[in-house]
Amino acid sequence: MSNLEQLVNETVGLITVTGESLNQARERAGRFLVVSAVLTTELRNLETQMVKTETAQDGSEAQAVLEGTGKNVTENKLHAKVNPLAIETKEQHKELEAKRNWLKLYIKIFENAHLMYRQLSKES
């Protein structure tokens, strides 16, 4: 498990409202905000990586089309889709997309947890 996944898992455990958590509402609201900031930084880094993998994906597919031995462009495009390098770069990009979606969801969850605990701190 990565440090990022561990951070998310530990922080998810802080969302549950209990008597103890109500006493720590301000601190927890702050913690959720900090974790959201960490995840946002990671999201930015990931999106930078995605630009590179998308470029690599386009380049590998284009190279495979150019090197194709098909009778026409359509056949060469089909062969490019099964090119091992094109497949590998596409898989890398899709994995990064999945991680980006995961990060976006947890950022939203922790932002909502921040708002909830901020409100709870005002009520107590």
Q: What is the pLDDT of residues 67-87, one digit of tens each?
A: 878 888 888 788 878 888 889
Looking at residue 63, its pLDDT comes to 86
Contacts of 104 (CB under 8 A, 6+ apart): 43
- The residue ranges of every structural domain in the chain are 3-123
Looking at residue 97, its pLDDT comes to 97
Looking at residue 79, its pLDDT comes to 81
Looking at residue 72, its pLDDT comes to 87
- Give the DSSP per-residue string, 60-82: HHHHHHHT--SSSHHHHHHHHHT
Looking at residue 33, its pLDDT comes to 97
Looking at residue 43, its pLDDT comes to 98
**Positions in the chain whose pLDDT score sits under 70:** none
Q: How many Å apart are CA 27 and CA 68, to the nearest integer? A: 60
pTM score: 0.86
Spell 83-96 as b/e; 16+ CB within 10 A means b. beebbebbebbeeb
Looking at residue 69, its pLDDT comes to 81
